A and B are shown apart, each in its own frame.
Chain A
Amino acid sequence: MEYIINLFILFAIYGILAISLNIVVGYTGLLSLAQAAFYGVGAYATAILMTKFDMNFFFTVIIGMIVCALIGFIIGAILSKFKGDYYAIVSAGLTIIIFNTLLNCEGLTNGPIGIFGIGRPTLFGFSFSSNINFLILCVLTLSAIYYLNKHLVNSSFGRVLKGIREDERLVRVMGHHRKTPKMLSFVFSASLTSVAGSLFASYLMFIDPMTFQLHEAIFIFTIIIVGGLADLKGSMLGAVIMISLPEILRFLGLPQETAAQLQQLIYGLLLVVLMYIRPQGILGKYRM
């Protein structure tokens, strides 16, 4: 049961990451690989503030969101000048910069050794230290983020974002700014991603910079491709598939000598089959 609870915690955390990224990639049509950077900043904000300043988890989440929004604002302003492949390259650059900062600012982040002893959240005397309570917190957060994003994508601002994705020039002709909505969607996504980082740090109780590298950004990107672009439920479904599939394969009873390699092979094959059958993702409405 504990294992299942832990799986669901990861579904929720990666669901938040995927929903946040889908706003930028699925709805705005921008190829962002910056998600791992904000994920890392959120995680480290919580880890540092909780271990060094004994701050309450929920305050650290807010601070993490503000920091990520500020970084997102600065980087988003630069990124809004780009689109397509260039956007992907510049946003990947941000992930690399943040990773190197986490790795090298040893006084603050403890460098490659990482930070351990991060606590679980408490609120008005109620502790989320047990995994089931922590799962409830994660699910509540995911639900809140889902409904917030649902409201956003159905709003007039959401329609502008979709317009940018389909035809930027047309949006301009209609009298809308192009750069400001692009930047705002990036800032919004960054601050929500930070929440997932905070939850991850508190869940694991230990973090190091190696988790927040480019391959993590690609993994989150894969989640939304598999689940479906421009669909919030698809993001959550993608997270469930990408996290659970390799775990389910552990139970196939393969011979121990080759189990790990065969699991990876089957995992890869299943993803290829999935993409062959549904190239736009399982619930996807938009194809890149």
Chain B
Amino acid sequence: MLKKHWKIALIFLLVIALFIYNTNKSNDSTKPVVKIGSIAALTGDYSNWGIELKNGLLLAQKLSDKNTKYSYELYIEDSRGELRTTALIANKLIADKVNIIHTLFSPDALVLSEMQKTNDFIQVAATWMKTMTTANPRSFNHWPIIEKEVSILLDEAEKRGYKNLALISVKQAGAEYARDVFIKEYKKRGKEFVGVYDFNFGEKDYRTSFMKLKEKKPDLLIVNSFSPEMEISIKQAKEVGITADWTGLELGFNSKHLDFHEGKWYIGPTKMTEDFSTMYKKEYGIRPAIFAGNSFDVYNMVVKAYETAGRDLPDDELPNLDEVAKVMSSFKNFPSAYGTVSVNQDGTIDSDVAIYEIKNGKSIPQ
């Protein structure tokens, strides 16, 4: 028995020794260090998005100008898609005196938003919910403005002659927010969806709801969800006899089966530049996906903001966060992976929106 306890103790001692060894490692750079943290699911169901984000950050760091006043370090952490882990690693990043934290999911952004009230850091999120950006002058959101995306989608639907629109939406924080914007925006135009159907995350059978929807004769389904539920719901809609066409917000980015949506159009963030796509492909061997450009921009914006805010300061002094946030807020036509972006007064980093069509399994901007 004693022997077994020793084995366990040995394993833990080994892990703790490595822990201590690594926490004692110091940075040998003589420049003041700006620490950029990132919280995203790098393992688990949504790790594809997290990995894109990580790749974008690492690429930006690799390609960045090394002749800067400050040194920039990355702290990329895996949230595993769990809120308790997000809170813990946010505290770890705060303890590491990280200046900027980049988050990916709406719930993560909201947790960080609460923490900003008592801790010093700038948050840059990538979320449909802009609640967090308006709450704090040190919060930014680098994602197309949802109202703009919805409005363009509804305009395009009208232009293409669709009259009876139905909305199918998953119950997930960001999607739920988008759903509410859809309803509000359509109401503003004096119209109503012929059907609005919400379903739980992971739900697989929608046929009963679709039987009712069939009677309303929709001609366009706006599918506000993710793979595989997105494809399953469309397939079942067809099965029950709904002949409507379909589209969605960022459909080509949220789907893992683009060939299923062949010939369909959708709205999404504007296409990433050829320059960025080539650099990314050279580094990782694949075309960049959506969050790669996002995090690439965040890194470059932070560097630019720090270098600008600290221009007139002594060499060993970092600018304070309010100064950095102020500089970031003033960015107009900032060179980005999406062309150019500008920062709005409420902290929203406003990038363009494009209409795409899926041809030969690829999203082609129109």
Contact = CB atoms under 8 A, between A and B. Distances in A.
**Does B bind A?**
yes
Interface size class of A (residues with CB under 8 A): 35 or more
A210 B108 CA distance: 12
B49 to A, nearest CB: 13
A263 B171 CA distance: 31
A54 B249 CA distance: 37
A200 B171 CA distance: 23
Interface residues of B, number: 52
A211 B111 contact: no
For the residues of B in contact with A, the DSSP-based class is helix
Interface stretch (B72-80, B157-165, B238-246): B72-80
Nearest to A209: B171
Contacts of A247: 88, 92
A261 B22 contact: no
A252 to B, nearest CB: 5
Nearest to A207: B83
Interface string B1-29: 00010011001000110110111010000
A113 B87 contact: no
B310 to A, nearest CB: 26
Contacts of A261: 42-43
Interface stretch (A24-32, A82-90, A143-151, A272-280): A272-280
A116 B117 CA distance: 13
A103 B107 contact: no
B232 interface: no
Contact of B78 (A203, A260, A273): A260
A257 interface: yes
A203 to B, nearest CB: 7
Interface in B150-200: 171-173, 175-177, 200
B95 A3 contact: yes
Contacts of B110: 114, 116, 206
Contacts of B91: 2-3, 6
B15 A208 contact: no
Given A100-B200, A208-B107, A112 B74 contact: no
A205 B132 CA distance: 14
A1 B95 contact: yes
Contacts of B131: 116
Nearest to B92: A3
A55 interface: no
A113 B80 CA distance: 19
A60 to B, nearest CB: 18
Nearest to A117: B114
Interface string B88-108: 110110110000000000110
Nearest to A252: B18
A260 B4 contact: no
A211 B107 CA distance: 10
Interface string A261-288: 1011000001001100110001000000
Interface of A: 1-4, 6-7, 10, 100, 103-104, 111-114, 116-117, 129, 200, 203-208, 210-211, 245-253, 256-257, 259-261, 263-264, 270, 273-274, 277-278, 282
Interface of B: 4, 7-8, 11, 15-16, 18-19, 21-23, 25, 42-43, 47, 50, 54, 58, 74, 76-78, 80, 82-85, 87-89, 91-92, 94-95, 106-107, 110-111, 113-115, 118, 129, 131, 171-173, 175-177, 200-201
Given A103-B171, A204-B111, A252-B19, 5 more contacts: A10-B84, A113-B177, A200-B84, A256-B58, A264-B78
